[in-house]
């Protein structure tokens, strides 16, 4: 398969790069200083596959510029940076990496909630600064027994619910429709869910419907003692409204792994001690990174060997 051209859109995983280079004719888009349209035009006939992620996927312009494109493999569960309509129109296969990252993202979601409520990051700075010698740290808030709301009860949302249940938390959720085979309380209105929980996890897919699903109304319903945890996508949250709510004390705190304009984060958040910020690392463990890369490779190999895809989206 060394003659098959594969375009990697941005740095993702050194292991993935090495495996792609060993098997295919790999093009690294970020290594070319010329304008992207020129690069794509020059190599368009060679490229049959695109490997993208939630930073740079495959938009309509890229797809149209690659006449021999057969498959787009996402090094992510998310598909919001891939023009699925264009792929379907042109008969291009699409795969992603679900399931293998579910536990890591759910773990981080719970970790963020614990870090915000128990003020773990602030505690760490308190000890490192030597302030402990001047007196004990202020009281925090417990996680166990809190009421938890989950926006999106898919694989990751369900994994968060399972973990929260172990902390004796009551679970409610909002999704497009009520899920069968669950005893969790369902809310068709997300603002009602926010008003009835103390911690709100955002774990849904990013679509036109879920863009800014966390708006001022939802934030105010969650209230000055509520905690927002976003391990979905940055655009799920109206970020200016989130910032103003935190600055004005209308929201109790937040744990964020994702942001609207990554890697740019609103500087107003940096001085706040009731939030925890991490740099979109939900699935970034050594174990899961390798598993995701292996799944990308396996899907590409299956496609070019005319075998069934392991995780087909289209």
Q: Is residue 310 part of a domain?
A: no
Q: Which residues are catalytic?
A: 233, 262, 280
Mean pLDDT of the 117-121 span: 98
Answer whether residue 220 shows pLDDT above 70. yes
Q: What percent of the chain has pLDDT over 70?
A: 98
Distance CA(156)–CA(206), nearest Å, equals 13
Q: What percent of the chain has pLDDT over 90?
A: 94
Judgement on whether residues 160 and 37 belong to the same structural domain of the protein: no
Same domain for 92 and 155? no
Maximum Cα–Cα distance across the chain: 68
For residues 6 and 20, the answer to whether their CB atoms sit within 8 Å is yes
pLDDT-based confidence at residue 42 (cuts at 50, 70, 90): confident
Do 247 and 213 share a structural domain?
A: yes
Asked if residue 250 is part of any domain, the answer here is yes
**Average pLDDT in the 226-230 region?**
98
Say if 312 falls within a structural domain.
no
* Same domain? 300 vs 180: no
What's the pLDDT tens digit per position in 65-80? 999 999 999 999 989 9
Higher pLDDT, residue 40 or 259? 259
- Indicate if 264 and 292 belong to the same structural domain: no
Provide the pLDDT for residue 39: 78
Q: What is the pLDDT of residue 36?
A: 67
Does 54 share its domain with 137?
Answer: no
Tens digits of per-residue pLDDT, 25-36?
A: 999 999 876 666
Q: Say yes or no to pLDDT of 43 above 90.
A: no
| Nearest CA-CA partner of 290 in 8, 19, 105 | 19
Question: pLDDT band at 1, cuts 50/70/90?
Answer: confident
pTM of the shown model: 0.93
Mean pLDDT of the chain: 96
The DSSP call for residue 268 is G
Same domain, 211 and 270: yes
Is residue 222 located within the same domain as residue 173? yes
Cα–Cα distance measured from residue 304 to residue 80, given in angstroms and rounded to the nearest whole number: 25
Domain annotation covers residue 208: yes
Q: Do 153 and 180 belong together in one domain?
A: yes
CATH number (domain holding residue 199): 3.40.50.720
Taking the alpha carbons of 240, 243, 248, 253 in that order, is the dihedral positive or negative? positive
Q: How far is residue 176's CA from residue 121's CA, in Å, rounded to a whole number? A: 35
pLDDT of 295 above 90: yes
The answer to whether residues 151 and 190 belong to one domain is: yes
254 pLDDT more than 90: yes
- Residues 262-267: contacts with CB under 8 Å, at least 24 apart: 262/55, 262/234, 266/239, 266/240
Tens digits of residue pLDDT in 156-178: 999 999 999 999 999 999 999 99
Q: Which two tokens stand for residue 34?
A: 């010329």
Beta partners for residue 255, in sequence order: 229, 276
Domain that holds residue 42: 5-98+286-304
pLDDT for 279 equals 97
Q: Answer whether residue 309 is part of any domain.
A: no
Give the model's pLDDT for residue 214. 98
- C-alpha distances in angstroms, 304 versus 65, 69, 91, 153, 297? 21, 12, 15, 34, 11
CA distance 166 to 161: 9
**Number of structural domains in the chain:** 2
How far is residue 42's CA from residue 26's CA, in Å, rounded to a whole number? 14
pLDDT of residue 33: 62
State the pLDDT confidence band at 40, using cuts at 50, 70 and 90: confident
Query: What letters, b where the CB count within 10 A reaches 16 and e where it falls short, cover 256-279?
Result: bbbbbeeeebbeebeeeebbbbbe
Q: H or E element: which one contains 97?
A: none
Q: How many CB atoms lie within 10 A of CB 55?
A: 15
- Per residue in 130-158, pLDDT tens? 999 999 999 999 999 999 999 999 999 99
Statement to judge: residues 153 and 36 lie in one domain = no
Asked whether residue 94 is domain-assigned, the answer is yes
Residue 35 confidence (pLDDT): 60
Phi/psi of residue 3, each to 5°? Answer: -90, -5
Tell me how far CA of residue 7 lies from CA of 45, 94, 282, 311, in angstroms: 12, 14, 25, 20
Average pLDDT over residues 85-90: 97
167: in domain: yes
Average pLDDT over every residue of 203-221:
97
Evaluate whether residue 311 is within a structural domain: no
113 with 258, same domain: the answer is yes
């Amino acid at each position: 398969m060394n003659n098959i051209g594969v375009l990697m859109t941005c740095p993702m995983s050194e292991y993935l790069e090495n495996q792609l280079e060993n098997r295919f004719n790999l093009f690294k888009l970020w290594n070319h200083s010329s304008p992207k349209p020129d690069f794509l035009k020059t190599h368009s006939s060679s490229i049959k596959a695109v490997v993208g992620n939630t930073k740079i996927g495959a938009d309509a312009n890229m797809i149209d510029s690659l006449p021999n494109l057969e498959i787009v493999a996402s090094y992510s569960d998310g598909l919001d940076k891939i023009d699925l309509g264009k792929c379907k129109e042109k008969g291009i296969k699409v795969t992603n990496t679900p399931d293998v990252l579910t536990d890591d993202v759910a773990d981080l979601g719970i970790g963020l909630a614990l870090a915000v409520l128990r003020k773990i990051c602030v505690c760490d700075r308190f000890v490192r600064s030597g302030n402990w010698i001047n007196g004990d740290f202020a009281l925090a808030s417990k996680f166990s027994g809190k009421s938890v709301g989950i926006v999106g009860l898919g694989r990751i949302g369900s994994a968060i619910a399972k973990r929260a249940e172990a902390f004796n938390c009551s679970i409610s959720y909002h999704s497009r429709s009520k899920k069968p085979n669950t005893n969790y309380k369902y809310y068709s209105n997300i603002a009602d869910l926010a008003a009835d929980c103390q911690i709100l996890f955002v774990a849904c897919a990013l679509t036109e419907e879920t863009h800014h699903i966390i708006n001022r109304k939802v934030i105010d319903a969650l209230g000055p003692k509520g905690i927002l945890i976003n391990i979905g996508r940055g655009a799920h949250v109206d970020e200016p409204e989130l910032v103003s709510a935190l600055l004005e004390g209308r929201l109790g705190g937040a744990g964020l792994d994702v942001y609207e304009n990554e890697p740019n984060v609103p500087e107003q958040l940096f001085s706040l001690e009731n939030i925890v910020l991490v740099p979109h690392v939900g699935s970034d463990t050594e174990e899961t990174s390798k598993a995701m890369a292996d799944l990308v490779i396996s899907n590409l190999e299956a496609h070019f060997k005319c075998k069934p895809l392991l995780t087909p989206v289209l």
